[in-house]
Amino acid sequence: MSTSPASPQVRSHLKAMNLDEKIAQISAPLGWLAYEKTGDEVTLSERGQEWLRKGVGGLYGVLRADPWTGVTAITGLTPERGRNLADQIFKYAQNNSPHGLPPFLIAEANHGYMALDATIAPSSLMASCTWNPALWKKMMECASAEAISQGNHVVFCPNIDLLRDPRWGRCEETLGEDPYLAGEFARAAVEGLQGENLQLAAVAKHFVHGSPQRGLNTNGASMGRHDLFNLYVRVFRKAIDAGVAGIMPSYNEIDGVPCSGNRWLLTEILRDKLEFDGVTFSDVGALGMLSDVYRICQDHPSAAATSLAAGMDFETSYKLLFDSPLKSAIKAGALDEAVLDQAVIRVLMLKERLGMLEPQARSLPKPEIMGCLAHQEVSYQVAVEGAVLLKNENSALPLGTGMKIAVVGPQGDSAYGQLGDYTPPQRPGQTITLLAGMRSVFGEENVLDGCFSGIRNPAYDVALRAAEQADTVVLAIGGSSARDFDDQFSQPNAPDQGAMTSESMSAHSDCGEGVDRCTLEPLGYQIELTKRLAELGKPIICVLTSGRPLVLDQILSHVDALLFAPYIGQQGGRALADLIAGNQSPSGRLSFSWPRSIGQLPIAYNMRPTAAPGYIDGSAEPKFEFGFGLSYTEVQHSEPEVVEISEAGVLIEVTVENCGERAGSCVTQVYLQDKVCSIVRPEKELCGFAKTCLEPGASKRVQILIERECFGFYNANGDWVFEPGEFIMFVGQSSLQLLQPIHIELR
């Protein structure tokens, strides 16, 4: 087992703790219940003081605000007050906790730090469509700085699950379907969040989710061990190699064993095989599911003992099992206290790395950094580079000047509709909608408002009236992961279920955690609206904002262009307007395979080869393949060359030329195939890529190193295996648009 030795300081703290104090040190109750706000005054609540006197190891979501917590823009805290509360917690714990140890302040930050007035970035799914990990690292640096400015120590991100079933409501949180691409973004996110000098601990999640059966959140994952290691664990290897401080096991079970109580997964694989020596943090309420949902444990004491013995170090929950239930299990002899000691040591070691065992408070960025202009500009760039142009018939885009444009549909002027799940309340003006962006770029007098609220809203006469007066229609449809922000709670609440429930979702939501689907067509009246608009005979530019791919057969034939924007962040309307106007050129590429129908699922480019000819009633090919995306210019690749084979891998070189009249970017993608292998490997696997921006007529030689690991695979024991022989490599602009193959022999 890989565990760094504990320092004398950590050992001293452990030795001084009694059983109750040890258990408290590995638990975190709901932090938004730890304070009270009366007018402008913010103080610790009685419950918060009690937790700190007890010596809890953390507080989860102290400054989280959303309908699930019941914290609103009114009852929540501004950055200045949030910082003040963090200072109060630190000082109170230092003076009143059993050993003066402050708790972790734990936050969410999957697409920006989740608190009032923070920068809300595009979704992780949109980030993966940029094919630009360096840009996502910058975005995560912004999120990190904002979280640190509010006194946080831990963030529950990045989410490095894979999108293998678009029925699942959490697709928006993933980094696409491919382990190599997701792994590069996972590494970038960890490096961006944690920095060179650790001030914030990233927690990669969810280990290991797999693909939920039937697309239902928390449902079991069905997979063999080759898929487990080569698809899902492979992404976590990248995060661990990048030094991620924490890992969160997933809610679900794999092959009948829940991940939160799976010793083989959390100890033999995570600790021994992957050599992870950080802290494992539970998902909210996950431990109770061992007895209450999965029934592998008789009661809560048994569930607490099972999870801790399996390798869980730290619990976050609304109903803590690492509390009196764990104490009961230890007192009854169901668990050796030495197992608890090891978890406490890991928690204290992380606190030591974060400087939390020192008496002085940290030096933090000023609260004014929250939502600052510099961070908004990075968010804007992610939105620009992550939007994917899927159709552009007769060069319908970009739009020219001097025309009347109608922006119509439920997503045209919906701030929450473009932000995704895990989003705090937005104040007026914080989010630039598509309508606002279009009016800013094209002039208010040239852009007509045909927007209405809600994807299930039949009141689209306003859209038709605006479209009738316009030369061109920009149709904004898709889906939403918005929680019900219209319900203004008077008091914060303690949910009796995790955020996996859909109880706090808006009536117009079709995506998000706990919001899974058994169909994938656009919901409500959106298809009918599209057909009615098409009857007007005017050009239609469709902007699809959604957290997942949708089946678009009844949309595509009626629109001239389709721009996919999977939750675009606060600057999204500005970014989309610049793309539509041609001020920016689309450079996004799909990080997943887009299905034609729900009957194709699961569908991914890197499936194993089969002798099946296909379906008798439709194509087996995706509507849009992995890696696909159009641009406003034409880019060509020369035939690739192998310039060097070394211990590091294979270096490929290719010339990229912009043959069009506009500047633009292309994504050069490299895939490989193992000609003969002892196991069945995918037909092709992404093994390298490079994004290149070129002026009109310019060309550039691009080198891509294919790391040696890509030529091997992980066996059923999780060991990397390289089998010498022939490999075939393909270079192109998508998983289907490929040049002539390169054959190489590796020994």
- Segment 364-373, tens digit of pLDDT: 999 999 999 9
**Rounded distance between C-alpha atoms, residue 126 and residue 546, angstroms:** 10
- Burial of residue 215, with CB atoms counted within 10 A of its CB: 0-12 exposed, 13-18 middle, 19 or more buried: buried
Cα 139 to chain centroid, rounded: 13
pLDDT confidence of residue 499: 45
Element (H, E) at 564: strand 561-564
**Out of 3.90.1170.50, 3.40.50.720, 3.40.190.10, 2.60.40.10, which CATH number does the structure's domain 635-746 have?**
2.60.40.10
pLDDT confidence of residue 496: 59
3-state secondary structure of 121: coil
Structural domain boundaries of the chain?
A: 8-368, 375-600, 635-746
Q: What CATH number does the domain located at 8-368 have?
A: 3.20.20.300
**Rounded distance between C-alpha atoms, residue 158 and residue 124, angstroms:** 9
pLDDT confidence of residue 706: 98
State which fold the 375-600 domain adopts. Rossmann fold (3.40.50)
- Burial of residue 256, with CB atoms counted within 10 A of its CB: 0-12 exposed, 13-18 middle, 19 or more buried: exposed
**Rounded distance between C-alpha atoms, residue 298 and residue 547, angstroms:** 38
**Rounded distance between C-alpha atoms, residue 593 and residue 623, angstroms:** 8
Whole-Å CA distances, 57 to 52, 268, 351, 362, 373: 9, 26, 10, 18, 35
pLDDT confidence of residue 498: 47
Whole-Å CA distances, 494 to 33, 41, 109: 8, 22, 20
pLDDT-derived band at 707 (thresholds 50, 70, 90) equals very high
Q: What is the pLDDT of residues 336-350, one digit of tens each?
A: 999 999 999 999 999
**Rounded distance between C-alpha atoms, residue 363 and residue 360, angstroms:** 9
- Mean pLDDT for the stretch of residues 621-649: 97
pLDDT-derived band at 2 (thresholds 50, 70, 90) equals low
Paired residues of 545 in beta bridges: 478
Segment among 115-119, 234-238, 515-519 with least mean pLDDT:
515-519
- Mean pLDDT for the stretch of residues 23-50: 97
3-state secondary structure of 398: coil
pLDDT confidence of residue 503: 58
**Rounded distance between C-alpha atoms, residue 719 and residue 739, angstroms:** 33
pTM: 0.96
pLDDT confidence of residue 150: 97
pLDDT greater than 80 at residue 224: yes
pLDDT-derived band at 549 (thresholds 50, 70, 90) equals very high
**Rounded distance between C-alpha atoms, residue 729 and residue 743, angstroms:** 6
Give the 3-state secondary structure of 685-727.
Answer: EEEEEEEEEECCCCEEEEEEEEEHHHHCEECCCCCEECCCEEE
CA-based nearest residue to 591, from 123, 112, 121: 123
Instruction: Tell which wins on pLDDT, 652 or 358.
Output: 652
Percent of the chain with pLDDT over 90: 88
Dump strand ranges (E) for 92-191.
Answer: 104-107, 154-155
Average pLDDT for the chain: 95
Q: Which two tokens stand for residue 265?
A: 């997964």
pLDDT-derived band at 565 (thresholds 50, 70, 90) equals very high
**Rounded distance between C-alpha atoms, residue 434 and residue 673, angstroms:** 42
pLDDT confidence of residue 4: 78
Whole-Å CA distances, 544 to 320, 386, 482, 514, 541: 41, 13, 16, 22, 10
pLDDT greater than 70 at residue 424: yes
**Rounded distance between C-alpha atoms, residue 98 and residue 18, angstroms:** 10
**Rounded distance between C-alpha atoms, residue 344 and residue 525, angstroms:** 54
Q: Which two tokens stand for residue 73?
A: 């823009």
Q: What angle do CA 215, 106, 69 make, to 5 degrees?
A: 65
DSSP conformational letter for 265: I
- Mean pLDDT for the stretch of residues 719-729: 97
At a CB cut-off of 8 Å and minimum separation 6, what does 428 contact?
A: none
Percent of the chain with pLDDT over 70: 97
Residue 154: count of CB within 10 angstroms of its CB: 28
**Rounded distance between C-alpha atoms, residue 160 and residue 592, angstroms:** 14
In what side-by-side order are the strands of the sheet with 104-107? 58-60, 104-107, 154-155, 201-207, 246-249, 279-280
**Rounded distance between C-alpha atoms, residue 316 and residue 327, angstroms:** 17
Q: What is the pLDDT of residues 674-698, one digit of tens each?
A: 999 999 999 999 999 999 999 999 9
Contact between 88 and 44 under an 8 Å Cβ cutoff? The reply is yes
pLDDT confidence of residue 620: 92
